[in-house]
Amino acid sequence: MNHTTTSHRRKIHLILSASTLLSAMPATADVRLPKIFTDNMLLQRDLPVRVWGWADADEAVSVTLAGKNAKTKANQKGQWLLELPAIKTGENLELTVQGNNSLTLKNILIGDIWVCSGQSNMEMGLGGCLGSEEDIKAADLPKIRRIKFDHVQAAMPSLEAPTATPWQVCSPQTAAGFSAVGFYFAREILQKTGVPIGIVDDNWGGTPIEPWVPTAGLELVAELKPQFTARQEAINAYQSTHLPKALTEMEAWIAKTRGQLTNGVPTSPPPAIPPHPGGEGWSGMFNAMIHPVVHLPIKGALWYQGESNGGEGETYYDKMRALIGGWRQQWGQGDFPFYYVQLASFQAPSEDPAGGNGWAKLREAQTKSLTIPNTGMAVITDTVPLAERDDIHPRNKYDVGLRLALWALGRDYGQQQLEVSGPLFKALKIEGNKARLAFEHTGTGLMIGKKEGRNPAAEAKGEKLKRFAIAGADKKWFWADAVLENNTVTVSSPDVKEPVAVRYAFQMNPDGANLYNREGLPASPFRTDAW
């Protein structure tokens, strides 16, 4: 299929998506909730409970939960939104909505909601993962809940969630279908804190980062100005020819309810989906799969994506800034926690000391994304055995979930004593024919480690540090001798008399890379040069 045909079909799909959204608006007087509101739902603690939906124009609507009540009236388009006071704890609650008819949701739980998004490694179900059989049998965990979103794109931001599975209580009968990363994260938080956890399983295998980015995010990043300008031009063209007036009014209402009107005009325009040079639409999945959730208060987000952008470097960092900044702006909750996964090892190991192949630069961009406020990164290059090197879906999701949970426990649940990350490169100092490396997140000390399966990394006594390379001003790279010294690493080679740069694990598959802290967390790949 040629690009012209693909673009034409995509435009038809987007127009139909907008029409579908209009037809979803109720024509009867019955009060209705978005599909994200179901029995067994988990609602965010300590933040106002926001409920919205549709009814007849001017219909009086009231919502009651845990003895608290709020009232409003639907606007002329039949849309309504209200807030109840924050609730700290609660289980087996009922949420009642009263209009011309009455709706009651049962078994509501109060806890923390984490949005789990990205591509297939976030979507991968628990049932197909390493060691999951016993975990599923023991998954009688009613304080973990999960809702699964269907795969949908839309030209305009939707209020309706495309649910594939309504809110479920975690049990041996349901756990196999949960996002494995989300499950292990939620279980670890629950076990360590007792706080109930809700997972919004909102991901799509094979997707690049671009369709998850809202227009508002592009506007925040100067490096993406060309894309933002193209978006604006496409939005104007789309609105003048296809955009129904009702949709414009709906977006104005949404903005008004969230305090985003300036002189009666929304502070950011409603997104559309023009094509971009990569051939994928910007924000199509944000509109359909994330925007329906932005009215729902959450605790934070987990992100596992990058394989479909694997050939990028610095540009992926720019897109992460747009993604994270855009989501935070749309939620209106400030800099909520955003924790993500660095890509795992993949394909055959390279013996070229220069490295830089495959996903090396993408991982570098992911590490740089730690400069975005209130973010954290789980390094997992040590979780893929050579036997799985050609599988883009590593089966060990246990360590992924636990390493993400460390960031949350240390940053958001008061367990400041925890080391949340493996060593991250901090500084290089040249000492004669040696280079000395200093690190952040050394924990209780650096060690040479070894990881097998789901077992914690253990000290590998008698082994040497591997995957360090060194170069002089001539930019010729050689494998180096690396030694632990007083919580630093010294690197040298007889082939490099005057070193200027060092690289560590800077390959698509840095098999054998073994620098850890004593908390068992692996060092992130890095390079000290910008060649």
What pLDDT score does 235 carry? 64
Which of 220, 320, 210 minimizes the C-alpha distance to 268? 220
Give the C-alpha separation, 379 to 342, whole Å.
5
What pLDDT score does 221 carry? 95
In the predicted structure, residue 254 carries a pLDDT above the cut 60? no
What pLDDT score does 215 carry? 87
Give the C-alpha separation, 192 to 415, whole Å.
9
Give percent above pLDDT 70 in the chain. 85
Measured in residues, the chain has a length of 531
What lies within 8 Å, CB to CB, of 359 at 6+ separation is 306, 307, 310, 343, 346, 508
At 22 the three-state DSSP class reads helix
Per the listing, tokens 């649910």 go with 163
Mean pLDDT of all residues belonging to the chain: 88
Per-residue confidence band for 502, with pLDDT thresholds at 50, 70 and 90: very high
The string of pLDDT tens digits covering residues 341-356 is 999 999 999 999 999 9
At 310 the three-state DSSP class reads coil
Instruction: Please report, for the chain, the start and end positions of each structural domain, with discontinuous segments joined by +.
Output: 424-527
Element (H, E) at 184: helix 180-193
What is each CA distance from 465 to 24, 93, 413, in whole angstroms? Answer: 60, 55, 34
- Decide: 235 and 270 in contact? Cβ < 8 Å: yes
In the predicted structure, residue 9 carries a pLDDT above the cut 80? no
- CA 323 centroid distance within chain: 9
Q: Region 397-425: what's the mean pLDDT?
A: 98
Give the C-alpha separation, 318 to 368, whole Å.
10
Per DSSP, what are the bridge partners of residue 479? 469
The string of pLDDT tens digits covering residues 13-47 is 333 333 333 334 444 569 999 999 999 999 999 99
Give the C-alpha separation, 285 to 383, whole Å.
30
